[in-house]
């Protein structure tokens, strides 16, 4: 496990319903290395590329976090949720029968380039040292300031109402949940994020990532190799002792 101890960059495919820290914890357990961190949180309901660093490469986490991100996923039109995704129940159901396909495509234009975006209240952004989602869960009013983000690509790849499928390329700090909510407002019918996958971070691609199961197998094979080497070393030592007994 020496390469992991010294430092490695792992590309892992985060499973649905896992937190990003669940992945970090899994890597720590499998490698028995405590110096492990991830480069950019994915929500539990999102899947896709998570960069995990061990050893000295944890110093590069901020560098990786600042890289451009690419996502694919779906919005569901005609309702909203407090969390802007399926972590909470949809409400405010609206008729979408009057929406045209052209209107849906045209609405993306308002959200490309350098824009200001208000983060979700149900997020880990801290106010007075505490994550704002704690206040939001209590029903307390929290005012968040809009933040500058860059969305270089926002395209609708498929429409199967009430779902619309998208591809987004954006800067770090962009909340796709907020984009879903704002997109629904622009169309006048509401929307929430119903599926999300991170497909790229900088030049790192999801297609090069390992599933958790594949990573487990990789570590298991490495560990077996180490066990074999230890056994061989023990056998060699025993042979040497037979030839040259220790008195």
Active site residues: 43
- Which among 101, 59, 96 has a CA at the least distance from the CA of 189? 96
Long-range CB contact pairs, 177-181, < 8 A, 24+: 177/43, 177/83, 177/84, 177/85, 177/120, 178/84, 178/117, 178/118, 178/119, 178/120, 179/111, 179/117, 179/151, 179/154, 180/75, 180/84, 180/85, 181/80, 181/84, 181/120
Of the CA atoms within 13 Å of residue 66, those in its CB half-sphere come to 4
Task: Give the helix ranges, DSSP H, for the chain.
Answer: 2-6, 20-31, 61-65, 101-106, 132-137, 176-187, 212-243
Beta carbons of 103 and 49 less than 8 angstroms apart: no
């Amino acid at each position: 496990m020496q390469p992991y101890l010294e430092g490695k960059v792992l590309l892992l495919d985060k499973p649905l319903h896992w937190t990003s820290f669940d992945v970090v914890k899994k890597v720590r357990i499998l490698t028995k290395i405590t110096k492990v961190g991830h480069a950019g949180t994915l929500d539990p309901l999102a899947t896709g590329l998570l960069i995990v660093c061990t050893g000295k490469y944890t110093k590069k986490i901020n560098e990786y976090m600042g890289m451009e991100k690419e996502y694919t996923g779906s919005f569901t039109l005609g309702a909203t949720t407090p969390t802007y995704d399926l972590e909470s129940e949809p409400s405010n159901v609206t008729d979408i029968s009057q929406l045209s396909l052209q209107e849906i495509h045209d609405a993306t234009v308002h959200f490309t380039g350098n824009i200001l975006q208000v983060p979700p209240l149900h997020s880990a952004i801290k106010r007075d040292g505490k994550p704002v989602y704690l206040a939001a869960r209590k029903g307390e009013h929290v005012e968040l300031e809009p933040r500058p983000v860059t969305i270089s690509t926002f395209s609708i790849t498929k429409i199967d109402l009430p779902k619309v499928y998208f591809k987004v390329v954006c800067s770090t700090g962009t909340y796709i949940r907020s984009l879903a909510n704002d997109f629904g407002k622009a169309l006048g019918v509401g929307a929430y994020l119903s599926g999300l996958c991170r497909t790229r971070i900088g030049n790192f691609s999801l297609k090069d990532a390992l599933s958790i199961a594949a990573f487990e197998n990789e570590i298991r094979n490495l560990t077996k190799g180490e066990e074999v080497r230890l056994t061989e070393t023990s056998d060699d030592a025993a042979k040497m002792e037979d030839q040259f007994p220790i008195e």
